[in-house]
Amino acid sequence: MARRQAASAGTSANEAAPPPEKRRRVRIKPEERYREFVSKAVELFAEVGFDAGTRELAQRLDVTQPLLYRYFPSKGDLISAVYKEIYLDRWKPGWSGMIEDESEPLRTRLQHFYEDYTETIFTPEWLRIYMFAGLRGVDINARYVVNVETDLLMPMARAVRRELGLDPDAPIRPEEVELFWTLHGGIFYYGVRKVVYGFACPIGKEQMIANAVAAFLDGAASVMRGFAAEDASAPTAPSTRRRSPGSRR
């Protein structure tokens, strides 16, 4: 917790930094600089968090700190650019189609989807920035979570319904979405343990996905059949608060 101590143990003459070291000043196209900045900012913020200093970022870029303010009016704007890079640019629109495309069996589709999805998010950059952003209280994570529901979990729910011979176009119940969240969250948390907490997971990613999907699909079937039975017995007012098969009390 001690402050960074004086780097060189030389004469602490109180004035004049030891190595003035004329800087080498190269000019680079603005667009390329911008990309450099955002890329390194993603890396730095993922390591340290959004409290990382602009001076440290400039040092990693081999540039002076005020130059950052030519490209980003404030540190907040730099952070917004980082958000965009992680949340928007790395999202693949093909994922929802991948889940609903019926040319392969459901289990295989989910396996392939989650292998691809986790290849995107199981990196220190993605996971750590996602967690840092969530803790900062910005609404971005809440919005991302909405995307996950509409573009990933609801397609999954429809796919499972087709598999079970249930109506895929009937409105998806909140309980169903929540059920798929447990699969999604379980897989997500594997990445957090491995990548963020540095925990040595003894099982490979593919095998973990295979087991999770297998167990989930088996178990979800009966639960979702239960949901459908409830809907059939009371077809009106389909959304609000009703018992689920496993719930007591």
Give the binding site for its own copies (CB under 8 A). 1-2, 49, 51, 74-76, 79, 107-108, 111, 128, 131-132, 134-135, 137, 141-142, 145, 174-175, 177-179, 181-190, 192-193, 196-199, 201-203, 206-208, 210-223, 243-249
- Residues 74/98, Cβ–Cβ less than 8 Å: no
Reference 37, options 67, 8, 3; nearest CA is 67
In this structure, which amino acid lies at residue 193? R
Q: Which does 53 bind (CB under 5 to 8 A by kind): DNA, its own copies, none?
A: DNA
Q: Which one, 26 or 200, has the nearer CB to DNA? A: 26
Of 61 and 183, nearer to its own copies (C-beta) is 183
In the stretch 211-240, what mask flags binding to DNA with x, by CB under 7 A? Answer: ------------------------------
Which residues 6+ apart lie within 8 Å of 91 measured at CB? 147
Q: Which stretch binds DNA (CB under 7 A): 18-26, 126-134, 152-160, 190-198?
A: 18-26
Kindly give, in sequence order, each residue whose CB lies less than 8 Å from that of residue 25, ignoring residues fewer than 6 positions away: none
**From residue 130, how far is each of 105, 121, 141, 238 by CA, in Å?**
32, 9, 7, 34
47 binds DNA (CB under 7 A): no
The binder of 199, among its own copies, DNA, none, by C-beta within 5 to 8 A per type, is its own copies
**Which stretch, 53-61, 103-111, 133-141, 143-151, contacts DNA (CB under 7 A)?**
53-61
Question: CB of 48: closest distance to DNA in angstroms?
Answer: 9
For DNA, which residue of 69, 189, 197, 199 counts as binding (CB under 7 A)? 69
Residue 166's nearest CA partner among 106, 225, 107 is: 225
State the minimum distance, in angstroms, from the CB of residue 44 to its own copies. Answer: 14
Q: Is 82 in the site for DNA (CB under 7 A)?
A: no
* Residue whose CB is less far from DNA, 55 or 143: 55
Q: Using the 8-state DSSP alphabet, how is residue 171 labeled? A: P
Collapsing DSSP to helix, strand or coil, 60 comes out as: helix
- State the nearest-atom distance from the C-beta of 12 to DNA, in Å: 7
Count Cα neighbours of 64 within 13 Å in the Cβ-side half-sphere.
Answer: 10
Q: What is the DSSP letter of 239?
A: S
Q: Which residue has the tokens 């999604």?
A: 184
Closest distance between its own copies and the C-beta of residue 49, in Å?
7
- Residues in Cβ contact with 114 at an 8 Å cutoff, skipping those fewer than 6 apart: 187, 209, 213
Q: Tell me, rounded to whole angstroms, the distance of Cα 95 from its chain centroid.
A: 14
**Which residues are near DNA by CB under 7 A?**
1-4, 6, 12, 20, 22-28, 30, 33, 51-56, 63-67, 69-70, 73-76
